Amino acid sequence: MTVTARLYGDAYGYEAVAAAPRWEGRCGGCGAWNTLVEEVAATTPVALAPAERPVPIGQVAAAGAAARATGISELDRVLGGGLVPGSVTLLGGEPGIGKSTLLLQALAAMAGAGTRCLLVSAEESCQQVRLRAERLDALRPELWLASDTALPHVLAHAAELAPEVLAVDSIQTVHDPALGSSPGSVAQVRGCAAQLVQLAKTRSPAVILVGHVTKEGTLAGPRVLEHVVDTVLSFEGERHHALRLLRAQKHRFGSTDELGLFEMSDAGLRAVADPSCLFLGDRRPGVAGCAVVPVLDGRRPLLVEVQALVAGSSLTMPRRSVQGLDSARVALVLAVLERRCSVSLANSDVYASAAGGVRVGDPGADLGIALALASASSGRPLADDVIACGEIGLGGEVRQVAQTGRRLAEAARLGFRAAIVPGSAPDTGAALELVRVATVRDALDAAGLRAEQPTVVSLAK
Ligand code: TYD
Ligand code: MG
């Protein structure tokens, strides 16, 4: 047995950098501590398939089977149509986020349309899965179940049943005794996944592998599989919120720009077709410190409410509490407000958040954050039917962000009347009144938020 040192850092591309004959605390190759991962050295030479001759690209047969819709609209959106036969999809996410639920609902939807699906549950018994399926109304004649952790059994089930979709939940809990190392180890996860990939390529079922990731990204987690599968989906969300986001991190058959949104309910995951309505549903009009911003997640515009609260502080270093927003961007906006707009919050506690459990990293939200902070500081609310969109530069200038037109169209669709935008923003027709501003100071003026302003200007409440 050889102990191979692997450093699981992006810089090394997850490749082995050295081998050691016994356990060592420090990698002889790169000097890093505690990065050795045990791997059984291959003893039998791998038989090579006969070489194929290179062909001109025009003579390569066009790709065969097209994607098959799963019937779960938000999943199909992220997959660019559906599952491609012979492809391997990795569904990753933190434990408890809802991977098994999504999988069961997707398989039930496909089985309902006559596609033979086999779900191998290596974590739950068939009875447990059935109970869940009853709750989710997912009992279908073409949905087959097996509860097994041994990979040779999984392959045998697949050979016997010849499913069109094979799902394994999870890849960390199946193991192949022939690989030697303990279940869940890197060698096991990779070895088992390689055999399932082989199955997908030779027998053409669409294979879905579920993989757990922790916030830190476990060693034996899906990260080591990313390069062997065709598609990597990541299922995310705040545990205390019902909102779940599905993204493609890698997709060989389509774009990785789509975002799927679900809401976890008592009856499983529900597709959120109109997320902006969801995020703005509980808005209270006329409250100071709130601004609505159109952010872009992938290609999908979402209207999100940014909220700020400013309170007197008794601390030497006043509190800065940020949730759902990028704290570095909030700090930048605070600095710009102080130096360019004379809005000083240096002696106040500042709380800023994005409502609804969504995480906003988009610089297009900067202007909305600035308006929310200035509104919270002055106690003057923004008008309810106004949105703000733009990135803020250190000079206090407001800059245009990608796909401003698409964002503004979403705001117009939801009935907003006006948008505070950078001077260079494209025209959107008559749907939305555009208030063009060059600087944050102009934006505060336009919104009637500057403390020294004597009268309330048109956009203010
Ligand atoms: P699960 O799909 O088991 O998560 P994972 O496979 O990612 O570990 O679902 C986890 C949570 O979802 C569980 O804590 C309960 C919740 N849940 C609901 O709220 N409603 C439902 O209908 C189901 C099936 C689960
Ligand atoms: Mg699960």
Tens-level pLDDT at each residue, the chain (461 residues): 445 555 444 444 445 556 776 777 887 777 778 777 766 655 555 567 678 888 888 887 776 668 889 999 999 999 999 999 999 999 999 889 999 999 999 999 999 999 999 999 999 999 999 999 999 999 999 999 999 999 999 999 999 999 999 999 989 999 999 988 888 888 888 899 999 999 999 888 999 999 988 666 554 556 678 888 999 999 988 878 888 999 999 999 888 888 899 999 999 999 988 888 778 888 888 899 999 999 988 888 899 999 999 999 888 999 999 999 999 999 999 999 999 999 989 999 999 999 887 889 999 999 999 999 999 999 999 999 999 999 999 999 999 999 998 899 889 988 899 999 999 988 877 688 999 999 999 999 999 887 565 444 455 44
Region of 119 (left: φ > 0; alpha: ψ -120 to 50; beta: rest) is beta
- Stated as kind and residue range, the H or E segment containing 115 is none
The count of other CB atoms within 10 Å of the CB of residue 436 is 16
CA–CA dist 29, 31 (Å, integer): 6
Pocket probe for ligand 1: among 100, 101, 241, the residue whose CB has the most ligand atoms within 8 Å is 101
Choosing from 170, 212, 264 the residue with most ligand 1 atoms within 8 A of its CB, the one to mutate for a pocket test is 264
pLDDT of res. 416: 92
Q: For the residues of 435-461, what is the DSSP string, one character each?
A: EEESBHHHHHHHTT--TT--S--TTB-
Q: How far is the CA of 243 from the centre of ligand 1 (A)?
A: 12
Ligand 1 center from residue 352 Cα (angstroms) = 30
Q: Kindly give the pairing relationship between strand 36-38 and strand 16-20.
A: unpaired
Contact 74, 271 (CB under 8 A): yes
Residue 316 tokens read as 């030497």
Position 154 scores a pLDDT of 95
Q: Provide the pLDDT for residue 449.
A: 82
Sorted by sequence, the CB contacts under 8 Å of residue 43 that are 6+ apart come out as none
| Residue 60 structure tokens | 């390569």
Q: How far is the CA of 358 from the centre of ligand 1 (A)?
A: 19
Residue 256 Cα, ligand 2 centroid: separation in angstroms? 24
pLDDT of residue 120: 96
pLDDT of 457? 46
| Predicted pLDDT at 163 | 95
Ligand 1 neighbours, Cβ below 6 Å, are: 93, 95-101, 132, 135-136, 264, 266-268
Strands 3-6 and 143-146 come out as unpaired
Query: Most distant CA pair in the chain: distance in Å?
Result: 84
Phi-psi region of 392 (alpha: psi -120 to 50; beta: other; left: phi over 0): beta
Check residue 9 and give its pLDDT.
43
So what's the pLDDT on residue 82?
93
